[in-house]
Chain A
Amino acid sequence: MTPAAILRAGFRDQNPGLVQLLGLCPLLAVSTSLGNGIGLGLATMAVLIASNGLVALVGRSLPAEIRIAVFVLLIAALVTTVELALAAWLPGLHTALGIFLPLIVTNCLVLARAEAFASRQPVANALLDGFAMGGGFLVVLVALGSVREVLGRGSLGGDLHVLLGSGSTSGLHLFGEQHGFLLALLPPGAFILLGLGLAWRQARRVTAPAPAPGAAATSGMPGEATS
């Protein structure tokens, strides 16, 4: 696969959030603000890049019976590392992400990329795929987080200071929090907004010019929604 094709797959054609529908649980639960979205997106991306790289290094030499077990071990170790690092250096973000940080382990996106892509590809491709898939996930998290924060709280980036250090920014305040649209912050709002995003993605695909035969396999119906 060419680098451009890998990037296209991650950000657009096989976007984890809008096409493969992988890792929806953290996506919906954490995307209540721009800051949270960026935080979980970057943490997931870091784990994906590292796990893809490690898996590409060891993947092919592994006996088939223990391949998945080894991947799970590696991913679990990486997530623990990221969690400890965040607890030490960004405790505010660590608290905000809560249980969804250790639960990156169970984000099927990570294991899916390890098994379906990284274990059969050269290290460079696997790293790039981790970046592209993590980036695609990050983009959806950021979009959903921004919309939910603006609708629900009337602000944008109100908790970015958790990421950038206290006093660095207080974000954009559009209207008072008491006038916010509460539904946007609650789980049903997350589902409705993600649904609108999926509809937008589908509409674009339907109206787009027919893909080349080779690309058809990558733009099928959305995969099964899991985790």
Chain B
Amino acid sequence: MAARPERPARGITRAAVVLATVAVAAFGGVAVVHEATRERIAATERARELARFDQVLGGLLHDNDLLADTLTLRDPELLGTTAAITAYRARFHGQAVAIVLEPVAPDGYSGAIRLLIAVAPDGTVLGVSAASHHETPGLGDFIDARKSDWMQRFTGKSARNPAVSRWRVRKDGGDFDQYTGATITSRAVVGAVGRTLEFFARHRNELLGDELPAAPATIQP
């Protein structure tokens, strides 16, 4: 009888100790693996970012670290999102040779389409790709470079070529062929690219910046 009230308490203590031991051991194991893979994961993530840029820069020669030469932009009207977006500057011998922007086309068929657009200093497009989207497979995913070359039609265009009023799909009286069966997606992308080029035209000097900024610069019109 005397031992009875003690038993549950002893059981609970033992369970707690075992659970704590296992938790510490599991945590320790994960920490060791995390430490062992940390550098490699950082390197692969960097390589993936740079590969993304290569897609839109089209082999443009540059000698700086794009990921370290950035600007923070905020313009809900032209860049399609209330959140701050990052622009990356490519330089060759200190001279800016391209700006890579990551605007959003908020009016895709299935939500926002994030784009990656490289613009040359003269305001012409070097390349456009879809950074992420939820468009219907087989219909709206023609914006993937792997699926079609539709995105290449923007290369060489700028905010004034064609004229602002022609930055629309053909169906709306513009200069760009909509992809058959996916007018909404086409319209969203054409509009977003046009607005981004307009943003570039308005802020060209701040974006190109002649000096390497000491700290990431911020443009908030």
A interface residue numbers (CB < 8 A to B): 58, 62-63, 65-66, 69-70, 73-74, 76-77, 80-81, 84-85, 87-89, 91, 95, 177, 180, 182, 185-186
Distance (whole angstroms) from the CB of B93 to the closest CB of chain A: 31
In the complex the two chains form, is A87's CB within 8 Å of B18's CB?
no
- Interface range on chain B: under 10, 10 to 19, 20 to 34, or 35 or more? 20 to 34
Which residues of chain A are near B41, meaning CB under 8 Å? 84, 87-88, 91
Q: How many A-B residue pairs have CB under 8 A?
A: 59
In the complex the two chains form, is B18's CB within 8 Å of A85's CB?
no
Q: Which of B26-34, B160-168, B182-190, B195-203 contacts A (4 or more CB under 8 A)?
A: B26-34
Chain B, Cβ-Cβ closest to A183: B138
State whether A63 and B18 are in contact (beta carbons under 8 Å apart), knowing that A84-B41, A87-B37, A87-B44 are contacts in the complex. Answer: yes
In the complex the two chains form, is B138's CB within 8 Å of A77's CB?
no
Which residues of chain A are near B19, meaning CB under 8 Å? 66, 69-70, 73
Chain A, Cβ-Cβ closest to B148: A178
Chain A, Cβ-Cβ closest to B20: A66
Complexed CA–CA distance, A73 and B23 (Å) = 7
Distance (whole angstroms) from the CB of A29 to the closest CB of chain B: 14
Partner of B11, one of A63, A73, A180: A63
B221 located at the interface, meaning its Cβ lies under 8 Å from any Cβ of chain A in the complex: no
Distance (whole angstroms) from the CB of A98 to the closest CB of chain B: 12
In the complex the two chains form, is A77's CB within 8 Å of B26's CB?
yes
Which residues of chain A are near B44, meaning CB under 8 Å? 87-88, 91
Contact with A along B1-42 (1 / 0, CB 8 A): 000000000011011001100110011011001100100110
State whether A63 and B22 are in contact (beta carbons under 8 Å apart), knowing that A88-B37, A88-B41 are contacts in the complex. Answer: no
Chain B, Cβ-Cβ closest to A87: B41
Partner of B14, one of A63, A87, A91: A63
Complexed CA–CA distance, A155 and B118 (Å) = 33
Partner of A74, one of B26, B33, B137: B26
In the complex the two chains form, is B37's CB within 8 Å of A85's CB?
yes
Complexed CA–CA distance, A177 and B44 (Å) = 30
Partner of A77, one of B29, B37, B40, B137: B29
Which residues of chain A are near B137, meaning CB under 8 Å? 182, 185-186
Which residues of chain B are near A66, meaning CB under 8 Å? 15, 18-19
In the complex the two chains form, is B48's CB within 8 Å of A91's CB?
yes
In the complex the two chains form, is B37's CB within 8 Å of A73's CB?
no
Q: Which of A80, A81, A85 has the most CB of B within 10 A?
A: A81
Which residues of chain A are near B30, meaning CB under 8 Å? 77, 80-81, 84
In the complex the two chains form, is A62's CB within 8 Å of B48's CB?
no
In the complex the two chains form, is A88's CB within 8 Å of B29's CB?
no
Which residues of chain B are near A186, meaning CB under 8 Å? 137
A-B contact pairs, 20 of them (CB 8 A): A58-B22, A62-B18, A63-B11, A63-B15, A65-B11, A65-B15, A66-B15, A66-B18, A66-B19, A73-B19, A74-B26, A81-B29, A84-B30, A84-B41, A85-B37, A88-B44, A89-B40, A95-B48, A180-B138, A185-B138
